[in-house]
Chain A
């Protein structure tokens, strides 16, 4: 369930699944292996390391997120293979200056709590996967 994933993230742990059939990883967890569809999965802790695949500095936010702009959303490819969506911990102006150079930079994943919004499924808290650059820029 999503609660376990986010609670672990707040403790600095990234939870995923390893497939006993094809050997690939799925993160965040889901009912079937993202590669082969198998249900023969075992819960594992991932390294939390990855690299930036793409990012965007967001200036226009949806209702409930307006106070957070500008923010940088990034998709990160984890060392173990899967991709996850989160936010890059960086000054948005710096991100814009670096542009495409940010792609492939190494990051580490952690969790951070943000103010909730009415439609988010977790009514207690909204946790965002955060990406911290491994080397300062």
Chain B
């Protein structure tokens, strides 16, 4: 297999875009990525596009071809990938595999989504299409609901008093909002940068014990990246970011996972796959961009990825281990909570941040001496998990 690298990356401003289509948002991100790649349009051989619920938010499916045509890539293979909130991470991983296998030398990857403009009721129903469509949706289970169940179970299984756990969860919100308030492309740029624990605890209850400030927002936005063989990348740019390893795994309905939901076993499997391929361990990772769709989700993710033991990440979070100056900075761009979560674009927006951080050109909160980092994207209630390890080193 050939080595694969990322050339340019791009991302639209995340937030509310009532007057811009899924195509518009993808195109903006695409051209930012393309223009920093030092290639010609004809070098791009395929488009791998992630979108989750275009049918419900925009009445639109069959989207990939429209994306290709919009950016002037007439006639090339264009494929839509759907893996709920991990859609564009699935697209990214498949693009990496296609380039590694030699099918293509250069592929454009990305995604776009318009959840905020869809409104809360449609947005909540659209997101809930990722729970079991027969046996779970009937009870009215929502996504905040999934993580509310997980929070109560975490408290019970690891014998952490719920009040203590909620404090750690509030800290995740405070930290990610603080990081996100500095992000000019984030949904909450300049806002919520100084939250207190009480603000999170006392915000509107959505699904007990998850409050509004425990949740990421609904967001409209797009993201893109150009993926190429390492050989091509080294010819056209000075600072390729190498894809050292990727992992992906799946799980069934939440009730089939039962008590083990707090272990996020699909994530453990996916992360282990990525580490094995990269020949690295969690100790080699300098920072992480992970799927904090809800505050408790960040805590569960850190354990399943192998950065902390099961039942320990809430404590490490309270101790500041995941702050910008901690031993493992988590979500320096604000994560889903602080930056926003345009579902189908989220995975590639994590790649965007990692690539810019590793190049020392982050939009905000530039970390010092970072060489290797990891993304984590969760689709559904642990049903699709993708992890990507990126580095300035080819190895």
Contact = CB atoms under 8 A, between A and B. Distances in A.
Could you say which interface size class chain A belongs to? 35 or more
B1 interface: no
A96 B162 CA distance: 13
B62 to A, nearest CB: 19
B139 A73 contact: yes
A87 B136 CA distance: 10
A60 B143 CA distance: 10
Interface stretch (B9-17, B22-30, B150-158, B227-235): B150-158
A84 B140 contact: no
Interface stretch (B34-42, B77-85, B95-103, B120-128): B120-128
Contacts of A59: 204-208
B149 A54 contact: yes
B141 interface: yes
A77 B326 CA distance: 39
A41 interface: no
A48 interface: no
Interface residues of B, number: 43
Nearest to B127: A62
B372 interface: no
Contact of A75 (B138, B207, B254): B254
B124 A53 contact: no
Interface of A: 2, 28, 30, 34, 53-66, 68, 71, 73, 75, 77, 82-87, 96, 99-100, 103, 114, 119-122, 126-129
Of all A-B residue pairs in the complex, the 5 with the closest CB atoms, nearest first, are: A56-B148, A62-B125, A63-B125, A63-B121, A83-B258
Interface of B: 120-122, 124-125, 127-129, 132-142, 144-145, 148-150, 152-153, 155-156, 162, 204-210, 252-256, 258-259
14 contacts: A34-B252, A53-B153, A53-B259, A54-B149, A56-B208, A58-B207, A59-B205, A60-B207, A62-B125, A63-B122, A77-B258, A83-B255, A85-B139, A119-B125
